[in-house]
A and B are shown apart, each in its own frame.
Chain A
Amino acid sequence: MKNKYSIFSLIKNAFSQHENWQQAWGDPNPKKEYDAVIVGGGGHGLATAYYLAKKHNMKNIAVLEKGWIGGGNTGRNTTIIRSNYLWDASAGLYDHALKIWENLSQELNYNVMFSQRGVMNLAHNLQDVRDLKRRTHANRLNGIDAIWLNTNEVKKFCPIINTSPNIRYPVLGGTLQKRAGTARHDAVAWGYARGANEMGVDIIQNCEVKGIKRNGNQVEGIDTVKGFIKTKKIGVVAAGHSSVIANMAGLKLPLESKPLQALVSEPVKPIIDTVVMSNAVHAYVSQSDKGELVIGAGTDAYVSYTQRGSHDVVEGTLKAILELYPIFSRMKMLRQWGGIVDICPDASPIISKTSIKGLYFNCGWGTGGFKATPGSGDLFAHTIANDEPHKLNAAFNINRFVSGDLVDEHGAAAVAH
């Protein structure tokens, strides 16, 4: 790597007042033709380009981003990473991602601050207990580290949780995945962008896609605000805007795009050293390295591309936070924002070929795509390069909505954050 990052490069550059750092990625104009074009410069799209270049030797590729890279859900999520999913297909997919996360900083030479501080899911009623135990058993047999904690163990692992039996929905226990945790979301996009760019991938920002050109059933190219780009393979990783791109190609997807909100508190000294999620008392919280409590709210149940949701959802979330953490009542919300999440009917993603040759979709990650970023990019790159899914994403094809073989993560896996 021409510009390797390390403590030594920091020291060296300090003596030239940091005037000699290179661009992390360039700002090129699009070429006339690429071997593949990725639509969407979020974490998943950049990772796809990175693995296409790295593992499939496709270097003449471009990532087109309508705004600035990492500016969509990559930069708006609550950064939770875990793989304790119920179904084998999901567990396979997310644990593949988790394994990549564990070495990602070193691989990218970019510190994505993957922090394995554990993710705990709480149970508040007897059905929660059954569901979470079911998931824990499945995880264990799938080789995923997940354990069941009783209420006392929950309290011991995260002492600030209100485990009093007298609250409205007492904590009856929970699951813990210790390998799970959080990462620095922006760094993931930037690290992949830098890595992909290093291998020759063009990252083209402010380049909105206007149309997809087909010759019969084969993709021919893509119309953008920066002109027409010829290509035989288009991988769309446009999250909330997937349907918009699909419509350009005359496809409909089983997706609805909805607002999802999150918020942070003012920064404080370390007070919670893990990630705690609760489905029944709908709240999840962690603390960033900067000290902010990072709190995820729910989705609004209507289609919207506004990147803003309703205040009721935020109020409901904080209500749940104060139920579980009454000590946070005098903390203050610093910032609140929304993203647009594309949700599949079975709460599982699509990483798939389509009925149009050369057109691939990676979408439907709903509220929980961040954790899958490296795995999603790797498997989507495989699918694009080989025109065939990898065995780990075979179940996540579009056809499952026709045949009925859904990967339903609503039921026992609860909300797929």
Chain B
Amino acid sequence: MFVINCPYCGERDQSEFNSGGEAHIIRPKQPTELSDDEWAEFLFMRKNIKGIQFERWNHTHGCRKWFNVVRDTTNDQIHAVYKMGEKPPKDY
């Protein structure tokens, strides 16, 4: 059980949060113009990274805010957190 440093509330137990999966998958602005393949890519295909992953988390049992986390999926160490809309840190 890790600890997540919510950018709005500070360090809280993981059990207060929910993961929203891989980050920076932007919903297409014009879905109707995509092919079935392109739409499936957005909808289902995931990098599912073993290593440093950029992902979304929600402070469900707290401020209810969504934000981004840089986490190593091989050991659950969290390297950075940043708010929605902010640029991801470049060091990873």
Contacts and interface: CB of A to CB of B under 8 A. Distances in A.
Q: Do chains A and B touch in the complex (CB under 8 A)?
A: yes
B51 to A, nearest CB: 8
A257 to B, nearest CB: 6
B75 interface: yes
A310 B1 contact: yes
Contacts of B22: 303
A84 B21 CA distance: 31
Contacts of A256: 21, 46, 48
Contacts of A303: 19, 21-22, 48-49, 53, 55, 73
A247 B44 contact: no
Interface in B55-92: 55, 73-76
Interface residues of A, number: 25
B48 A257 contact: yes
A252 B46 contact: yes
Contacts of B19: 301-303
A310 B50 CA distance: 18
Contacts of A306: 73-76
B45 interface: yes
Contact of B15 (A304, A312, A345, A404): A312
Contacts of B47: 243, 247, 252
A311 interface: yes
Contacts of B45: 252-254, 401
Interface in A87-136: none
A303 B46 CA distance: 11
Nearest to A258: B19
Nearest to A304: B73
B17 to A, nearest CB: 9
Interface in A126-173: none
Contacts of A310: 1, 14-15
B15 A255 contact: no
Interface residues of B, number: 26
Contact of B50 (A305, A311, A345): A305
B40 interface: yes
B14 A253 contact: no
Q: Which of A247, A256, A301, A305 has the most B CB atoms < 10 Å from its CB?
A: A305
Q: Which of A256, A304, A306, A345 has the most B CB atoms < 10 Å from its CB?
A: A304
B50 A244 contact: yes
A82 to B, nearest CB: 27
Contacts of B53: 303
B11 interface: no
A1 interface: no
B48 to A, nearest CB: 4
B36 interface: yes
Q: Which of B36, B50, B73 has the most A CB atoms < 10 Å from its CB?
A: B50
A241 B53 CA distance: 15
B74 A252 contact: no
Contacts of A342: 48
B48 A402 contact: no
B37 interface: yes
A322 B40 CA distance: 42
A132 to B, nearest CB: 28
A305 B55 contact: no
A403 interface: yes
Contacts of B44: 254, 345, 401
Contacts of A255: 46, 48
Interface string A319-358: 0000000000000000000000010010000000000000
A255 B21 CA distance: 11
A271 B5 CA distance: 45
Contact of B48 (A253, A311, A345, A401): A253
Nearest to A255: B48
Given A302-B55, A311-B1, A254 B46 contact: yes
Interface of B: 1, 14-15, 18-19, 21-22, 36-37, 39-41, 43-50, 53, 55, 73-76
Given A243-B48, A402-B40, 16 more contacts: A241-B50, A243-B46, A252-B41, A252-B46, A255-B46, A256-B46, A301-B18, A303-B19, A305-B50, A305-B73, A306-B75, A306-B76, A310-B1, A312-B15, A401-B44, A402-B39
16 contacts: A243-B46, A243-B47, A243-B50, A253-B45, A253-B48, A254-B40, A301-B19, A302-B55, A303-B49, A303-B55, A310-B15, A312-B15, A345-B44, A401-B40, A402-B37, A404-B36
Interface of A: 241, 243-244, 247, 252-257, 301-306, 310-312, 342, 345, 401-404
